[in-house]
Amino acid sequence: MCNLMQRVQQACDHAHRPASQVRVVAVSKTKPVSMIQEVYDGGHRHFGENYVQEFLEKAPQLPADIQWHFVGHLQSNKAKVLVANHLDRAVSGVGRQPLRVLVQVNTSGEESKSGVEPSECVHLAKHVKQDCSNLLFSGLMAISMRDYTSTPENLHVISSSGILDLRIWSRLLELTGFG
């Protein structure tokens, strides 16, 4: 973990950006509670779970000041709101701080990728913000194309996805409290 944090600091120095603006989330999916506790004992506080069931099993066994993030995908587009509601109810039963969630956006349009369509990200983020009191909308997450390069064709895929639309970003910034 120390090596990772040093690399983050170096990248921030190179980018002339304060490291305090970067949050490293240790994804703890499939890892035992003992390993998470070890990383916690080393000073790390942000952990991400990919599966609701693992979160529900692990969270009660670990310190209350851990900041949990849900990094898993939700199933079909039609089910995303229902799954968000289910996750909200599950988190309420654990009795912890709200679970931070990122809305995954499928910017490439690939069938193999999960996530909402760019045009749906504001709707889902708004639902989480307004209707899921045990979830905290924390931003967006996107996974690029496997063969992504800075070619005009690939940049066109991202720009045509709609995710670069400033109207979307202004609404998302309002939802996160930064707008």
pTM score, whole prediction:
0.55
CB-count exposure of residue 135 (10 Å: 0-12, 13-18, 19+): buried
Q: What is the pLDDT of residue 38?
A: 93
CB 85 within 8 A of CB 131: yes
Q: What is the pLDDT of residue 147?
A: 59
Mean pLDDT in consecutive groups of 10 residues from the start of the chain, 179 residues:
80 83 84 94 89 84 88 60 81 84 78 76 84 86 61 53 55 58
Q: What is the pLDDT of residue 31?
A: 92
Q: What is the pLDDT of residue 159?
A: 55
Quote the CA–CA distance of 55 and 139 in Å, as a whole number.
20
Quote the CA–CA distance of 133 and 98 in Å, as a whole number.
7
